[in-house]
Amino acid sequence: MIQSRLSQAEISHTLSKALTNSELLHADDSAILFYDLTAIKARVEALKRAFPPGTLHAVAVKANPLLKILSFANSLHTGAEVASLPELYLAEKAGFGPGQIVYDSPCKTREELEYALKTGVSINADSFEELGRIAEILNTIKSGSVIGLRINPQVGPGSIKTTSVADGISKFGIPLAQNREKIIQCYLQYPWLQSIHVHIGSQGCPVPLLVAGIRRVLDLCIDVNELLQQQSAPNRILNFDIGGGLPVSYHPGKDAVGMQQFVSMLQSSCNELFSGQYRIITEYGRYIHANAGWVASKVEYVKREPGYNIIITHVGADLFLRKCYNPADWHHHITVTDKHGHIKTGIDPVKYTVAGPLCFAGDVLATDLELPVVEEGDFLILHDAGAYTLSMWSRYNSRQMPVVIGYHETGNDFEILRRRETPDDLLEFWS
């Protein structure tokens, strides 16, 4: 069983060593994003063990688009799931070949589709209209792309509305209930249509909901293939893309469902999927990255007034956009180290508000938080920050993106994955 979350001891050891390395960090590095590369590798290996050999594990680029992280994933023999043409370019630059890339998006232009089809990456059409565009393009060019349809199984939302995409109405996919026969006719009409795709949502979607959505689309898939066989059609649905979305743990002491447990539940409910008839495709991002990353943010000030303390630190809604804007749904555990990276203990009798550097009142990471006594120069550790943090970076107030450092579990073998932005970088961005 793999470790679900990084220990405080590992984080403290790593931070302490990094702070003494002048080639890694400088005095003005007030925020640092760390990645345990060993933890990422362990998640990928767990994913591969859980699914049958030959499964394509297309890691979601949107969760963590850092080029060196993508290249590391490629070295582990994964694929890449992309949701824009620039993400496709990133995947190509990271070394992924066309057969390793899956292109999903509800807003692909004709030019983007032409590029993808000429390149030969897999494409999941998000609508009948997009499928029609693909058909028009394929009348003029030859393509090695594996093409599928994204289906909305309409099994209902999870607990987080903004990350649920399988309700009755969604901007993603083709709603199944009202379009079942039309979907079937598409597979009869287009012999190059040989894949099917479903994605229920992310984080707030419980495992039974994920399984129910896959089961509903699998039933459709079985019916399509039976009809294709009856009519002696040349094609079959050979690829089944189950998407991603397995929840991860953001709370100490609360373990999420492991990948092997999820696959066991999937096998019980969707045994046909594992019959060897289909090549399974997965699109996990948060599962791979979230628990492998953490942030150390320097405490710049502590405002102390009777009955309350306010910490002013160097990350907020720029790096933790979801936590600041929607705190009820998104959590990141916070601990404290001293200026040398050593974990502080004890509890201050006065609770803390943790506020970021941005100039709006909602730039708050936590309220009424019990912490040890916090002092200027300490570091706040924000745990489980490996997914959907830097990729959702806000440019508000033109703050510089932090340095990103990779390491292995011993806290050794440090590598700068991305240097800190400079003022010149920002001037160029806004010019």
Residue 337 lies in domain: 8-35+290-430
Q: Indicate if 18 and 147 belong to the same structural domain.
A: no
Phi/psi of residue 263, each to 5°? Answer: -65, -35
- Look at the block and give the residue holding tokens 């979607």: 205
- What is d(CA 208, CA 215) in angstroms, rounded to the nearest whole number? 10
Question: Which pLDDT belongs to residue 2?
Answer: 52
Q: Indicate if 226 and 299 belong to the same structural domain.
A: no
Q: Indicate if 385 and 414 belong to the same structural domain.
A: yes
Given 266, 286, 306, the domain boundary residue is 286
List per-residue pLDDT tens for the chain, 431 residues long: 455 789 999 999 999 999 999 889 998 899 999 999 999 999 999 999 999 999 999 999 999 999 999 999 999 999 999 999 999 999 999 999 999 999 999 999 999 999 999 999 999 999 999 999 999 999 999 999 999 999 999 999 999 889 999 998 899 999 999 999 999 999 999 999 999 999 999 998 999 999 999 999 999 999 999 999 999 998 999 999 999 999 999 999 888 899 999 999 999 999 999 999 999 999 999 999 999 999 999 999 999 999 899 999 999 999 999 999 999 999 999 999 999 999 999 999 999 999 999 999 999 999 999 999 999 999 999 999 999 999 999 999 999 999 999 999 776 789 999 999 999 999 999 99
Residues 273, 198 contacting (CB under 8 angstroms): no
What tokens were used for 297? 């943010």
- The three-state secondary structure class of 196 is strand
Would you put residue 419 in left (φ > 0), alpha (ψ -120 to 50) or beta?
Answer: beta
2 found inside a domain = no
- CATH number assigned to the domain comprising residue 324: 2.40.37.10
- What is d(CA 358, CA 32) in angstroms, rounded to the nearest whole number? 17
DSSP string, 349-401: SS-EEEE-SSSSTT-EEEEEE--SPP-TT-EEEE-S-SSSSGGG---GGGPPP
- What is d(CA 327, CA 323) in angstroms, rounded to the nearest whole number? 5
For residue 179, how many C-alpha atoms fall within 13 Å in the half-sphere facing its CB? Answer: 18
- The three-state secondary structure class of 403 is strand
For the chain, helix, strand, coil in percent to 5 are 35, 20, 45
Q: Indicate if 104 and 12 belong to the same structural domain.
A: no
- CATH number assigned to the domain comprising residue 221: 3.20.20.10
Q: Indicate if 295 and 253 belong to the same structural domain.
A: no
DSSP for residue 83: S
Overall number of domains in the chain: 2
Given 286, 303, 332, the domain boundary residue is 286
Pairing verdict, β 293-305 and 31-36: antiparallel
Q: Indicate if 309 and 275 belong to the same structural domain.
A: no
Given 253, 286, 319, the domain boundary residue is 286
Q: Indicate if 94 and 199 belong to the same structural domain.
A: yes
What tokens were used for 311? 């910490």
Q: Indicate if 220 and 178 belong to the same structural domain.
A: yes
DSSP for residue 255: P
Helix (H) or strand (E) holding 75: helix 67-75
